[in-house]
Amino acid sequence: MMEKADPAQKLYNRMRLWEFPDQYVVEPTDGSSGSFLAIFRVDGSMNIIDEIPHCSSLRVPKIRTIFGVVGMLKLLAGSYLLVITERECVGSYLGHPIFKISSMEAFTCDQSLKKNSEEQKKMETEFYRLLNVAERTPSLYFSYDVNITLSVQRVHDLGNESKLLPLWRQADPRFLWNNYMMEALIDNKLDPYLLPVVQGSFQNFQAAVGKDILDVMLIARRCTRRTIIENLCLLYLASPSLFPHDCKEILYQLYKDEKPKLRTSPSAQWASVVFATFSVAESLAIDLGMNWFFWLI
């Protein structure tokens, strides 16, 4: 049976983040009557609460406005909450506003680091520095109301029934920049907080066709699968021992098939940062897992 979205439960487009010593609390402030999201700083676990925790002179929270929860990211120890702190409206699509992320910020849930070895703490610190670079990833776009991962033709072909799904369920995972980071929110069924984000470009202009003036909107979406092919090749060059002896030709063929479609991307820059920081690529793949490594670079 199709999982239908509650028409009254749209994505929250403005929130207040309360930063307590033991937890973060996300409070919707866009006029909706939604419950609050609590994320515990000891391990990154989350649940829904009905009210803001008690404040006192010894428990004074920091408060800031945010415009979306990008997701939760787990590293070697501890999790990181990534949120949108600034946005810019760049146009509209099918009558709905499209926003560009101007600024993001990562909040640590790393109290479990106290139990780790010094080597693990050191590595976690290095990865957090790389995460700060991820906060400045350019050309990230989103909408609270419309699916921008699919073309107009594709949306039309799927029919009106697909629009009854939560927005994250409508999205094509190939173009979801934060697909991995949304997993914890999905597991906790937090649909109003699940904001699909794509990397690419958005242009809105007018063009003359004969005597008519047309409004033209171009949305370019970066496919995560092409990024993985690039990164597989980069990882092979850095550490071929991670791969079977006969995979060189397979990787070459994959890259050759995709090369005409590839564009200049930050993946090579990420790779140079990673390989300059860590001399042994095997330790990255083993400690982090391939999926996280590919997301990182």
| Averaged pLDDT for residues 138-159 | 87
Contacts 24+ apart (CB under 8 A), 126-129: 126/277, 126/278, 127/75, 127/76, 127/296, 128/75, 128/80
In this model, does residue 143 exceed pLDDT 90? yes
Dist CA 14 CA 32 (whole Å): 10
Contact 50, 27 (CB under 8 A): no
Does one domain contain both 254 and 135? no
Does one domain contain both 40 and 162? yes
Question: Of the ranges 25-34, 86-95, 210-219, 270-279, which one carries the lowest mean pLDDT score?
Answer: 270-279
Band of pLDDT at residue 266, cut at 50, 70 and 90: very low
In this model, does residue 171 exceed pLDDT 60? yes
Task: Write out the residue range of the structural domain in which residue 247 sits.
Answer: 223-296
Does one domain contain both 184 and 258? no
Band of pLDDT at residue 155, cut at 50, 70 and 90: confident
Does one domain contain both 161 and 199? yes
Does one domain contain both 188 and 60? yes
Does one domain contain both 135 and 188? yes
Does one domain contain both 173 and 231? no
**pTM (two decimals):** 0.71
| Averaged pLDDT for residues 15-26 | 94
| Averaged pLDDT for residues 140-161 | 87
Number of domains in the chain: 2
Band of pLDDT at residue 28, cut at 50, 70 and 90: very high
DSSP state letter for 11: P
Task: Indicate whether 274 belongs to any domain.
Answer: yes
- Sheet containing 197-209: give its strands across: 68-74, 79-93, 96-109, 140-142, 197-209, 212-221
In this model, does residue 166 exceed pLDDT 70? yes
Does one domain contain both 48 and 141? yes
Band of pLDDT at residue 53, cut at 50, 70 and 90: confident
Domain end, chosen from 220, 240, 272, is at: 220
Dist CA 51 CA 38 (whole Å): 10
Does one domain contain both 40 and 69? yes
Domain end, chosen from 167, 200, 220, is at: 220
Dist CA 67 CA 84 (whole Å): 5
In this model, does residue 220 exceed pLDDT 50? yes
Which of 76-80, 133-137, 205-209, 252-256 has the highest mean predicted lDDT (pLDDT)? 205-209
Task: Indicate whether 6 belongs to any domain.
Answer: no
In this model, does residue 154 exceed pLDDT 60? yes
